[in-house]
Amino acid sequence: MKYAIVPILLVLLIVSGCVSPTGTGGTPTTTTTIPPTITTPQPPVTTPLPAAMVEGDKTIQRDAFDSWEVSLIAGQRIAVDVVTDGAPVDLLVLDLSNYYQFSTAFTSRSGALWESYVILKPDVIRQREEFKAPRSGKYRIIIENADVIPGGAVTTRAVNVVIRAYSLD
């Protein structure tokens, strides 16, 4: 009878995990359940738009232009975004002396009075134009809705324009 207790103890040890069935001993195993990590959804990272030097929307009548003045330092890079309601316009950027010559030429309908452009983009409907100021000073961003610039947009009506200019530096 005393030897009958040994098999019972051995079965209890095997069942409890303290001894392996092969008799080599063992480590009791336990299962731990780790709950899934709960994370709070984060909104996507977005880069804010740079502060606008010029921003707005305007209706430019047929046979007219509008302009916005910006002060730039030599080498400063800016971008100008223009979107129209579907009709083409001309986008110009001029320094102040050429702006005054352009204004006179526009009034007299003579394209020969202004010397040079920083930018001239005819037939713009949706355009992003980037440029670097050649020298420090005041510049004019011009949206022209007239048939004055040779090879420019042919105008037929008033045009709604959304414009935004901002520094890239």
Show me where the domains of the chain are located: 1-31, 52-167
48: number of Cβ within 10 Å: 5
From CA 20, how far away is CA 33, in angstroms rounded? 24
Q: And the tokens for 164?
A: 């935004």
Max intra-chain CA distance, the chain: 128
Select from 83, 64, 91 the least CA-distant residue to 158.
64
Q: And the tokens for 145?
A: 């809705």
Determine the Cα angle at 128 with ends 84 and 59, to 5°: 25
Cβ-contact 130, 27 below 8 angstroms: no
Q: What is the model's pLDDT at position 151?
A: 84
Q: Does pTM surpass 0.85? A: no
From CA 129, how far away is CA 108, in angstroms rounded? 28
Question: Which residue's entry shows tokens 């740079």?
Answer: 50
In our burial notation (b when 16+ CB lie closer than 10 A, e otherwise), range 50-72 reads eeebbeeeeebeeeebbbbebeb
Q: Is residue 13 helix, strand or coil?
A: helix
Q: What is the torsion angle, in degrees rounded to the nearest 10, for the CA atoms of residue 84, residue 86, residue 90 and residue 96?
A: -10
CA 95 to chain centre: 27
Q: And the tokens for 129?
A: 């134009």
From first to last of its 169 residues, what are the pLDDT tens digits of the chain?
555 565 665 555 565 555 455 555 555 556 666 666 666 666 666 666 678 889 999 999 999 999 999 999 999 999 999 999 999 999 999 999 889 888 888 888 765 656 667 788 999 999 999 999 999 999 999 999 998 887 889 999 999 999 999 999 8
Q: What is the model's pLDDT at position 10?
A: 57
* Assigned CATH class of 52-167: mainly beta
